Amino acid sequence: MIKIIAKEFGALEKNVQAVVNLLKEGNTIPFIARYRKEMTGGLDDQTLRQIAERLDYLEKLQQRKKEVTLAIEKQDKLTDALEKRIASADTLAKLEDLYRPYKQKKSTKAAKAKEKGLEPLAETIFQQDTVITDALLDSYINPEKDLTETQDCLSGALDIIAEWMSDNADLRQWLRELAFRVGLVCTEGKDNIDDTPYRDYNEFQEKIATLPSHRILAINRGEKEGFLTAVVELPWEKILERYEAYFIKPKSLARDEISQAAEDALKRLILPSVKREVRSELTNRAETQAINVFGKNLYKLLLQAPVMGKRVLALDPGFRTGCKVAAVDEYGSLLTTTTVYPTAPRLDIKGASETLLGLINTYNIDLITIGNGTASRETEAFVSELIKENNLASSYTIVNEAGASVYSASKTAKEEFPELDVSLRSAVSIARRLQDPLAELVKIDPKSIGVGQYQHDVNQKELNTTLDGVVESCVNSVGVNLNTASIPLLKFAAGLTPSICSKIVSVREKLGSFTSRKQLLAVPGLGPKTFEQCAGFLRIPNGDNPLDNTAVHPESYSIVEALTEKIGQPLSSILGEKSLLQSLNTQNLADELNVGVPTLKDIVLELQKPGRDPREDQFAPLFRQDILDLEDLTQGMELQGVIRNVVDFGAFVDIGVHQDGLVHISRLSNNYVKHPLDVVSVGDIVTVTVLEVDVKRKRISLSMVEK
pLDDT in tens, 94-103: 999 999 999 9
Q: What is the 3-state secondary structure (H, E, C) of 570-581?
A: CHHHHCCCHHHH
One domain for residues 89 and 113: no
Cα→Cα distances 79→62, 164, 347, 469, 532, Å: 19, 18, 84, 44, 51
Domain total in the chain:
5
Cα separation, 113 vs 93, in Å, equals: 28
Residues 540 and 611 in one domain: yes
Asked whether residue 70 is domain-assigned, the answer is: yes
Q: Which CATH number covers residue 33?
A: 1.10.10.650
Domain range for 675: 630-703
State the average pLDDT over residues 483-487: 95
| SS3 readout for 395-422 | EEEEECCCCHHHHHCCHHHHHHCCCCCH
Tell me the backbone φ, ψ of residue 654, rounded to 5 degrees: -85, 110
Q: What angle do CA 201, 205, 206 make, to 5 degrees?
A: 115
Question: What is the mean pLDDT of the segment spanning 14-35?
Answer: 97
- Going by C-alpha positions, the residue among 437, 367, 425, 445 that lies closest to residue 400 is 437
Return d(Cα 435, Cα 331) in angstroms, integer. 8
Give yes or no: residues 91 and 142 share one domain.
Answer: no
Q: What is the 3-state secondary structure (H, E, C) of 576-625?
A: CCHHHHHCCCHHHHHHHHCCCHHHHHHHHHHHHCCCCCHHHHCCCCCCEC
Name residue 231's amino acid.
Answer: V
Q: Please tell me whether residues 138 and 263 are part of one structural domain.
A: yes
Which has the minimum average pLDDT: 85-94, 131-140, 445-454? 445-454
pLDDT, mean of residues 582-591: 94
Question: DSSP string spanning 255-315?
Answer: HHHHHHHHHHIIIIIIHHHHHHHHHHHHHHHHHHHHHHHHHHHHHHHHTSPP-TT--EEEE
Sign of CA dihedral 329, 331, 336, 339: positive
Half-sphere exposure of 410 (CA within 13 A, CB side): 20
Domain presence at residue 444:
no
Question: Which range (122-131, 481-490, 607-616) has the least confidence?
Answer: 607-616
- Express as a percent the part of the chain with pLDDT over 70: 100
Domain closes at, from 83, 102, 121:
102
CA nearest 506: which of 525, 532, 480? 525
Residue 401: closest CA among 425, 378, 366: 425
The pLDDT score that the predictor gives to residue 450 is 78
Query: From CA 61, how far away is CA 95, in angstroms rounded?
Result: 8
Give the pLDDT of residue 535: 98
CB 348 within 8 A of CB 455: no
The mean per-residue pLDDT over the stretch 110-124 comes to 96
- Residues 535 and 570 placed together within one structural domain of the fold: yes
Q: What is the mean pLDDT of residues 380-404?
A: 92
Domain contains 303: no
Q: 682-693, pLDDT tens digit by residue?
A: 999 999 999 999
Q: Are residues 487 and 606 in the same domain?
A: yes
Q: Is residue 584 part of a domain?
A: yes
Identify whether residues 127 and 217 lie together within a single domain: yes
Of 52, 76, 102, the residue at which a domain comes to its end is 102
Strand partners, 206: 185
Cis status of the peptide bond prior to 345, with omega within 30 of 0: yes
Does 677 map to a domain?
yes
> What is the per-residue burial (b if ≥16 Cβ within 10 Å, else e) of 354-363?
ebbeebbeeb
Tell me the pLDDT of the chain averaged across its residues. Answer: 94
Residue 617 pLDDT grade (very low, low, confident, very high; cuts 50, 70, 90)? confident
Q: What pTM, to 2 d.p., does this model score?
A: 0.89
Contact between residue 43 and residue 34 where contact means Cβ atoms under 8 Å apart: no
User: Does residue 359 fall inside a structural domain?
Assistant: yes
Looking at residue 176, its pLDDT comes to 96
Q: For 265-279, what is each residue's pLDDT tens digit? A: 999 999 999 999 999
Check which CATH number belongs to the domain holding 266 and give it: 1.10.3500.10
User: What count of Cα atoms within 13 Å lies in the side-chain half-sphere of residue 376?
Assistant: 23
In the prediction, which pLDDT does 463 show?
92
Position 503 scores a pLDDT of 97
259 and 342 both lie in a single domain: no
Return the closest-CA partner of residue 654 out of 370, 382, 437, 393: 370
Classify residue 570 as exposed, middle or buried by CB count within 10 Å of its CB (0-12, 13-18, 19+). exposed
Q: Are residues 335 and 428 in the same domain?
A: yes
Residue 310 has pLDDT above 80, yes or no: yes
pLDDT at residue 148 in the model: 95
Q: How confident is the model over 442-483, as pLDDT tens digits?
A: 999 888 887 877 888 899 999 999 999 999 999 999 999 999
**For residue 399, is it within any domain?**
yes
Question: How many residues are recorded in the chain?
Answer: 707
Tens of pLDDT, residue by residue over 623-653, are: 887 777 788 899 999 999 999 999 999 999 9
Flag whether 403 is in a domain: yes
Q: Are strands 699-703 and 661-664 parallel, antiparallel or unpaired?
A: parallel
